[in-house]
C-alpha cells in the first residue's frame, strides 16, 4: 500500500565532497511533546537519534524508485535537564561503487524524507519545508575504502575526535538540503522493527600482544571481493587498504599490565594489543562500547561467528576501523555485525580504558509465541537452532545470511518464508519481500532478479534464471498461507509477463533450453555437464510452476503447457543402470531427445519435489534408502551426492511429503547436530562449512513442527490446518502456532503399550483441522480432545 506524506518532500545534499558513498547528518529541533510519531525513509541506511539516543535503524529495503516508510511512535521522550526542546538527528549512508555490483541494496542515489507529528496528527517538522531539517556532510567516515565482501558495500573506517558526534546535538555548520527531482513511490512497511535491546557479551577471554608475522594471505572472502570489484580496488589508495595486513597478526603473551573491573584498563608494552570477548552463541546487531584512549590510537574491531580449525580468531573483511584522537568515546557500529567473538585491536603506546561491549539486537523480534518441544532434547536443539538461524537472517527481507551478503536471494526465500510462518506466525516480511521482486520492470524476458534488493551494471540481467521459478512457487505458497487474493491480482500482469518469457524459451524439443545460468545444488549437479544443454531437473520445476500458477490464476493454457512438458519428460528413456544414466541433463542425439548419464541426488530431489516419479516405488525406494547424508543402504557411486544448499533441503521437504518421518529425523540429526557442535547455535550454507548462518535452514524447524507434532502450516485461505502427528518413538510433543484469528495449541502423548495417542488440539473459532492418520498409527487408538478421532 502506498504511503502518503502530508507535507514532507524527499531531499538530499548538494555539491558533496564524495561522489561514491556519501554520508550526511540531518537535524531538526522541536518543542518537547509527550508523544511524537516519526515517518522516515532513506537510501541506503540510516540511524535515528532522539535526544542523543539511538532509537531506530533502517530502512526496510525496497525496489528501484520505491522506498518503504518506517513509522516510529515515541512515547514519553524526556530531554535531559528538563529542556523545552527535543532533538532529532538522522545519520544516513548512501552507498555506491564502480561496477554497481551489490546484493544488499540498490545503490541508488541518496534521499531522505521525514515527517514528525504530535499525538493529534499535527506536523511538527518535515523535510523540504521551511528549512526545518538541515544537514551537513559527515567527513569523519572514509568513503574510498575496501569492501566488506564481494557483494556488499564498504567497511566502516572513521577518523574521530571526541566531539565528532556533537552534530547529533545540533552543533556544526548546517545547510539547507535540496528537494530531489526523482519520482519516488513510498510504500508502507509490513515487516517488524528490530528491538535494539542490549545484549551484553558474556565473557572476557583474554588479552594479548599481537605480532606481525609478515605472512598475511588474502583469504577467500577478500580475494573474492577484489575479483568482483576490480574497478573499485584499482582506484583505492594504498593507505586505505589494511585488511590483508591484519591477517598476518598472531597472538603472543601479553607483556603489559591490565586490570579488569567495571571496565578493562590496559597499559601496553608493545605497539599492538588485543582484547578478546566471547558469547555462547551468535547474535546480530550493532556493537556498542565505551573507550578512552590516552594517545592517538587506531582501533580495529573484528567480529566473527567462528574460530579457525586451530582455534584462532582470525581477521576478516568485516573490520570496523577507528582512528581516535586522545579522549573518551561512546561508539556504536553503523553496520549490524554477526557476533560470537569480538577482538579489539589497539595500535597505540598510550593507556586504554575499554568498557564492556554489548550488541544492540538487529534481528527479527521473535515474540516467543510459536513453539515446539518434545522429550527428545536433540530435536528441541535443532528446532531452536533453526529458529535462531532464521531470526538472525530475517527482518525487513529474507536474507540468505546476516553478514557476508545480507541479500534477498530467491530459492532461499521459498523455504525461509514457510519457516517464518511456522516459527514466527507472521506474513509481513514475506509480503514486503515478494512485493520488492514483483515491482521490478524491464527485466530479461520478464524474469526476476536472482537477488534483490541489489544492483548490477546490467539491470536487466536476472542472473540465475530458475531462481524466478522459486519466486513463483513462493507466491503460490503465500496465497495458500494468506488467502490474499488482492495481492495476487495486483501482480497478475507481471506474472503473465514472466510466464510468457519462460514459455518463449521452449525449443524444438518442447522443453526449456537456455544458455543462461541455472542452479540445482552446490555439488556436481551444478556443473555444465549436468545442466546443459537442457536441464531436466529445472524443466521439472518449470512444470510445477506452470501447473500451480495456471491453477491460482485460472489459466488453462499454462496448465496445458505444463501437461505437454510433463509428457515429454516422462517419455524420456530413463537409462539408469549399473553405470548411472537417467542424468540431470539432456541432449538431442540423432534427432532424438535423450537424457545424459550424469545423475545427481540434487537433481533427483528436485524432480520428485516437482511431482515426478511419485508412482515409481523402486525409484522412490532408491531415493529414500540409498541417498542423503546417511543412507541406510550403500550409495550408488555413480550418482553425485547433495550439498545442504539446496539439494538436501529439497530432499528433506520431499521426505516430509512422502511421510518418511523417521528417515527425515535421522537425517536432520545427522546434519544439524554436527553443526551445533561448532557452538554458534546456527546452521550453515554447506554441509562441509565450519561457520555460517543461512536462513533457509529455518525450514528444519518447520519440518519438525509439521512432521513430529503434526501441525502443518495454517492456511488462511481455507481457515484450515492439516494435522498428521508422527510419534517416531517419542513419549510426548507439544507446540503452538499462530494465525490471524488467534493461537493454535497442540499436545499429544503416546502410549506404546496400549497403542494409544491422546491429543489435545485447540483452534480459533471457524478454523478446522483435517486429521490425516500416518501409517505408523495404523491400528492405534487416537483420542482427539477426549473423543475417538474421525478419519
- Which range (99-113, 319-333, 579-593, 729-743) has the least confidence? 579-593
Average pLDDT for residues 239-251, to the nearest whole number?
Answer: 95
Other C-beta atoms within 10 Å of 700: how many?
Answer: 24
User: Which residues are CB-contacts of 478 (< 8 A; sequence separation ≥ 6)?
Assistant: 417, 427, 430, 431, 434, 484, 487
What pLDDT shows up at residue 689?
Answer: 83
What pLDDT shows up at residue 78?
Answer: 47
Average pLDDT for residues 740-752, to the nearest whole number?
Answer: 97
Any idea what DSSP says for residue 711? B
Q: Are 285 and 199 in contact (CB under 8 A)?
A: yes
pLDDT tens per residue across span 690-727: 778 999 999 999 999 999 999 999 999 999 999 999 99
pLDDT band, very low/low/confident/very high, at 579 (cuts 50, 70, 90): very low
Average pLDDT for residues 478-488, to the nearest whole number?
Answer: 98
- Phi and psi for 50 in degrees, rounded to 5? -115, 120
> Cα(70)–Cα(53) distance, rounded to whole angstroms?
18
Q: What percent of the chain has pLDDT over 70?
A: 97
Q: Is it the case that residue 76 has pLDDT exceeding 70?
A: no
Q: Is it the case that residue 427 has pLDDT exceeding 90?
A: yes
Q: Are 400 and 761 in contact (CB under 8 A)?
A: no
pLDDT tens per residue across span 254-307: 999 999 988 999 999 988 999 999 999 999 999 999 999 999 999 999 999 999
pLDDT band, very low/low/confident/very high, at 81 (cuts 50, 70, 90): very low
What pLDDT shows up at residue 788?
Answer: 84
What pLDDT shows up at residue 578?
Answer: 43
> Cα(102)–Cα(406) distance, rounded to whole angstroms?
10
Structural element, H or E, at residue 445: none
Distance of CA 526 to the CA centre of its chain: 23
Residue range(s) occupied by CATH 2.60.120.260 in the chain: 11-139+161-188, 198-213+248-361
> Cα(701)–Cα(76) distance, rounded to whole angstroms?
39
pLDDT band, very low/low/confident/very high, at 83 (cuts 50, 70, 90): low
Three-class secondary structure of residue 36 per DSSP: strand
pLDDT tens per residue across span 225-242: 999 999 999 999 999 999
Q: Name the CA dihedral angle for 553, 558, 562, 565, rounded to a multiple of 10 degrees.
A: -160
Which class for 253: exposed (0-12), middle (13-18), buried (19 or more C-beta within 10 A)?
exposed
To the nearest whole number, what is the mean pLDDT of the chain? 95
pLDDT band, very low/low/confident/very high, at 33 (cuts 50, 70, 90): confident
According to CATH, what is the number of the domain 198-213+248-361?
Answer: 2.60.120.260
Which class for 16: exposed (0-12), middle (13-18), buried (19 or more C-beta within 10 A)?
middle
Which class for 554: exposed (0-12), middle (13-18), buried (19 or more C-beta within 10 A)?
exposed
CATH class of 11-139+161-188: mainly beta
State the alpha helices, DSSP H only, in 483-637. Answer: 485-490, 492-503, 528-531, 536-552, 556-571, 601-609, 617-626
What pLDDT shows up at residue 699?
Answer: 98
How far, in Å, are 249, 267, 320, 694, 722 from residue 345 at the CA level? 10, 14, 10, 28, 54
pLDDT band, very low/low/confident/very high, at 791 (cuts 50, 70, 90): low
pLDDT tens per residue across span 437-455: 999 999 999 999 999 999 9
Other C-beta atoms within 10 Å of 120: how many?
Answer: 7
pLDDT band, very low/low/confident/very high, at 581 (cuts 50, 70, 90): low
pLDDT tens per residue across span 523-560: 999 999 889 889 999 999 999 999 999 999 999 999 99
Amino acid at each position: 500500500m502506498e504511503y502518503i506524506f502530508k507535507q514532507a518532500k524527499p531531499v538530499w545534499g548538494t555539491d558533496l565532497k564524495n561522489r561514491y558513498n556519501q554520508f550526511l547528518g540531518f537535524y531538526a529541533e522541536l518543542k518537547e511533546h509527550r508523544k511524537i510519531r516519526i515517518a522516515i525513509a532513506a537510501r541506503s541506511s540510516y540511524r535515528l537519534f532522539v535526544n542523543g539516543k539511538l532509537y531506530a535503524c533502517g530502512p526496510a529495503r525496497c525496489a528501484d524508485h520505491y522506498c518503504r516508510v518506517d513509522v516510529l511512535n515515541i512515547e514519553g521522550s524526556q530531554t535531559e535537564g528538563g529542556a523545552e526542546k527535543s532533538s532529532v538527528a538522522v545519520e544516513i549512508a548512501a552507498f555506491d561503487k564502480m561496477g554497481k555490483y551489490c546484493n544488499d541494496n540498490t545503490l541508488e542515489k541518496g534521499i531522505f524524507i521525514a515527517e514528525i507529528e504530535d499525538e493529534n496528527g499535527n506536523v511538527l517538522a518535515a523535510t523540504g519545508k521551511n528549512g526545518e531539517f538541515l544537514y551537513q556532510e559527515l567527513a569523519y567516515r572514509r568513503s574510498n575504502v575496501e569492501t566488506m565482501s564481494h557483494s556488499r558495500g564498504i567497511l566502516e573506517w572513521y577518523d574521530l575526535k571526541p566531539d565528532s558526534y556533537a552534530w547529533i546535538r545540533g552543533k556544526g555548520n548546517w545547510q539547507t538540503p535540496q528537494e530531489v527531482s526523482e519520482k519516488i513511490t513510498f510504500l508502507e512497511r509490513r515487516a517488524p522493527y528490530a528491538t535494539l535491546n542490549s545484549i551484553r557479551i558474556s565473557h572476557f577471554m583474554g588479552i594479548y600482544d599481537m605480532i606481525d608475522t609478515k605472512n598475511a594471505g588474502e583469504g577467500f572472502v577478500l580475494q573474492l571481493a577484489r575479483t568482483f570489484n576490480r574497478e573499485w580496488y584499482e582506484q583505492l589508495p594504498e593507505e586505505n587498504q589494511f585488511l590483508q595486513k591484519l591477517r598476518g597478526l598472531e597472538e603472543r603473551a601479553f607483556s603489559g599490565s591490565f586490570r579488569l573491573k567495571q571496565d578493562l584498563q590496559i597499559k601496553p608494552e608493545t605497539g599492538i594489543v588485543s582484547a578478546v570477548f566471547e558469547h555462547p552463541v551468535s547474535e546480530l546487531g550493532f556493537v556498542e562500547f565505551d573507550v578512552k584512549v590516552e594517545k592517538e590510537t587506531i582501533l580495529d574491531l573484528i567480529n566473527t561467528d567462528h574460530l579457525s580449525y586451530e582455534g584462532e580468531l582470525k581477521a576478516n573483511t568485516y573490520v570496523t576501523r577507528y582512528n581516535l584522537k586522545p579522549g573518551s568515546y561512546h561508539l556504536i557500529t553503523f553496520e549490524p555485525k554477526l557476533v560470537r567473538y569480538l577482538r579489539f585491536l589497539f595500535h597505540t603506546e598510550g593507556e586504554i580504558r575499554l568498557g564492556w561491549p554489548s550488541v544492540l539486537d538487529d534481528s527479527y523480534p521473535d515474540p516467543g509465541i510459536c513453539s515446539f518441544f518434545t522429550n527428545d532434547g536433540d530435536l528441541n536443539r535443532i528446532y531452536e537452532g533453526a529458529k535462531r538461524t532464521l531470526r538472525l537472517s530475517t527482518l525487513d527481507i529474507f536474507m540468505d545470511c546476516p553478514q557476508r551478503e545480507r541479500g534477498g536471494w530467491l530459492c532461499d526465500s521459498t523455504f525461509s518464508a514457510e519457516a517464518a510462518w511456522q516459527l514466527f506466525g507472521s506474513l509481513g516480511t514475506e509480503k514486503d519481500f515478494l512485493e520488492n521482486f514483483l515491482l521490478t520492470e524491464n527485466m530479461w524476458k520478464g524474469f526476476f532478479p536472482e537477488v534483490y534488493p541489489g544492483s548490477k551494471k546490467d539491470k536487466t540481467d536476472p542472473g540465475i534464471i530458475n531462481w524466478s521459478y522459486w519466486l513463483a512457487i513462493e507466491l503460490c505458497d503465500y496465497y495458500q498461507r494468506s488467502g490474499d487474493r488482492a495481492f495476487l491480482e495486483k501482480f497478475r500482469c507481471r506474472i503473465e509477463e514472466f510466464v510468457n518469457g519462460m514459455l518463449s524459451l521452449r525449443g524444438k524439443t518442447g522443453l526449456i533450453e537456455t544458455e543462461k545460468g541455472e542452479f540445482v545444488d552446490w555439488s556436481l549437479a551444478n556443473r555444465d555437464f549436468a545442466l546443459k544443454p537442457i536441464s531436466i531437473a529445472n524443466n521439472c520445476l518449470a512444470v510445477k510452476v506452470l501447473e500451480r500458477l495456471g491453477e491460482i490464476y485460472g489459466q488453462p493454457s499454462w496448465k496445458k503447457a505444463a501437461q505437454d512438458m510433463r509428457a515429454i519428460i516422462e517419455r524420456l528413456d530413463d537409462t539408469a543402470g549399473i553405470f548411472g544414466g537417467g542424468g540431470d541433463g539432456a541432449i538431442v542425439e540423432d534427432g532424438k531427445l535423450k537424457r545424459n548419464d550424469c545423475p545427481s541426488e540434487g537433481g533427483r530431489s528436485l524432480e520428485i519435489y516437482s511431482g515426478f516419479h511419485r508412482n515409481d516405488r523402486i525409484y522412490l525406494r532408491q531415493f529414500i534408502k540409498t541417498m542423503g547424508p546417511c543412507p541406510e543402504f550403500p550409495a550408488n557411486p555413480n550418482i553425485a551426492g547433495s550439498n545442504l544448499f539446496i539439494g538436501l533441503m529439497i530432499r528433506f521437504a520431499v521426505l516430509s511429503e512422502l511421510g518418511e518421518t523417521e528417515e527425515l529425523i535421522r537425517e536432520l540429526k545427522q546434519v544439524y547436530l554436527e553443526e551445533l557442535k561448532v557452538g554458534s547455535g546456527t546452521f550453515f550454507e554447506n554441509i562441509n562449512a565450519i561457520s555460517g548462518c543461512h536462513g533457509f535452514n529455518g525450514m528444519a524447524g518447520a519440518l519438525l513442527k509439521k512432521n513430529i507434532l503434526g501441525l502443518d502450516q495454517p492456511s488462511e485461505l481455507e481457515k484450515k490446518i492439516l494435522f498428521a502427528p508422527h510419534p517416531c518413538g517419542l513419549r510426548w510433543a507439544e507446540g503452538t502456532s499462530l494465525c490471524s484469528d488467534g493461537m493454535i495449541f497442540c499436545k499429544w502423548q503416546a502410549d506404546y503399550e496400549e497403542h494409544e495417542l491422546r491429543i489435545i488440539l485447540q483452534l480459533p473459532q471457524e478454523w478446522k483441522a483435517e486429521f490425516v492418520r500416518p501409517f505408523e498409527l495404523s491400528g492405534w487408538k487416537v483420542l482427539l480432545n477426549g473423543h475417538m478421532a474421525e478419519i
